[in-house]
Amino acid sequence: MSSSTALILDQLDRISGRMELARRQVQTGQAIELAPLEAEIDSICSDISALPPDERVAFRRPLTGLISELNDLTQVLRVGLERIGRELAETGQRREATAAYGKPSGGPDR
């Protein structure tokens, strides 16, 4: 294994850890920034494509795993967005109901 291959495999391992952290953050309702992760993945893919074909074979399994992790993160993001959408819809319905009933007459302002 060349030093380039070993370096890229190490970078893929670090990306995997960051994706796991991002997934946990989304699951706990925290915001994440995906642009740096995307840029790093793009860079690694460019590095891999610059390698000789016989060295690229070493990345088949790690890249397949990365794709699986990206799919998992996508699913967690999708679930989070669906939850936010439901919460926004419920909030809108409550506002509409409040507006329809208006302030109660004779009671103190709240």
Residue 107 has pLDDT above 70, yes or no: no
User: Where are the domains positioned within the chain?
Assistant: 3-100
105: pLDDT strictly greater than 60: no
Asked whether residue 103 carries a pLDDT value surpassing 90, the answer given is: no
Encode pLDDT of 76-90 as tens digits: 999 988 888 888 888
Cβ(4)–Cβ(55) below 8 Å: yes
pLDDT at 87: 86
User: What's the confidence (pLDDT) of residue 104?
Assistant: 55
What pTM did the predictor assign?
0.71
CA pair distance 75, 26, nearest whole angstrom = 10
